[in-house]
Amino acid sequence: MAAFAIVVLTALSYAIGWAIGRPLLVPFLNTAASFPFMVLALRRGDLQTAIARMLVWAAALGVSATLLSYAQPWRTDAFFVNGEAYRVEMFGWVMSGVGAESEPREFIPEQLRHAAIFSVLALATGGVLAMPMGAALMNYMGHYVGALAASSARPVATMVLGWHPWAMVRVASFVVLGVVLSAPLLAWTAGARIDKAVAKRAMLWAGAGLVVDIVLKAALAPAWQRLLLKVVGW
């Protein structure tokens, strides 16, 4: 029931954001759709359920942003924070193979910076600011995928392949980091409880995921670009 509610409320958050036309508010509206469900699970001391709920939320963000941008890419360029800039960057990479996506010396520092900022925000704010950051990242990634599918000869295949496997690993790692690092402050402010052994294992998995993300991206990005270009049919 909670998972269904998260999906419905996440979709509704985009509708509200679309209606009011304030891009900066969209990640916060997205967050409001899921944050209470995470807190409720943590108050029961159920870290695994909290993580599972936030994974559902991340999936709902990805699907919603992708479909919205597939339907109206010319409007979502401005609707999603950093949407146009990221789309232009990634379209250039798909067309040419040139770009940060295929350059470890460029993407590794950026990804480590994102992970560090996200982690600090989760720890310092109990997730209140980390989750909107995560939503913003998901939104502009989904915008790229949806807009790419809208210009593709094979839109369904493009939507699937556009969510690069390393990006999926990164999203899951961020979710785990966000939930676990939010718990200490939420324990003080909202009565959250956490099993330290479970939290430690989760953090190890998240750290490993960030490493796997980098390794997969470095190894697969050039071949993935060629595959995407063929599927898109440019």
* Cα–Cα dist 165/217, whole Å: 8
**Are residues 203 and 177 in contact, defined by beta-carbon separation less than 8 angstroms?**
yes
Q: Residue 207: count other Cβ atoms within 10 Å of its Cβ.
A: 14
Q: Look up the pTM and report it.
A: 0.96
Length of the chain: 234
Q: What pLDDT band is residue 24 in, cutting at 50, 70 and 90? A: very high
Element at 50 (helix H, strand E): helix 47-71
Q: pLDDT tier at 25 (50, 70, 90 boundaries)?
A: very high
| Placement of tokens 């961020």 in the chain | 174
**pLDDT averaged over every residue in the chain:** 97
**Cβ contact 127:167 at 8 Å:** no
- State pLDDT tens for residues 134-185: 999 999 999 999 999 999 999 999 999 999 999 999 999 999 999 999 999 9
C-alpha distance from residue 108 to each of 15, 84, 173, 214, 220 (Å): 34, 22, 15, 7, 14
* Domain range enclosing 10: 2-232
Q: What is the DSSP letter of 70?
A: H
Q: What's the number of domains the chain is made of?
A: 1
pLDDT score at 71: 97
Query: 67 by DSSP, 3-state: which?
Result: helix
pLDDT tens by residue, 212-233: 999 999 999 999 999 999 999 9
- Residue 137: the pLDDT is 98
- Name the nearest CA neighbour of 15 among 64, 55, 87: 64
Nearest residue to 180 (alpha-carbon basis) of 193, 168, 163: 193
pLDDT, tens digit, 9 for 90 and up, residues 82-113:
999 999 999 999 999 999 999 999 999 999 99
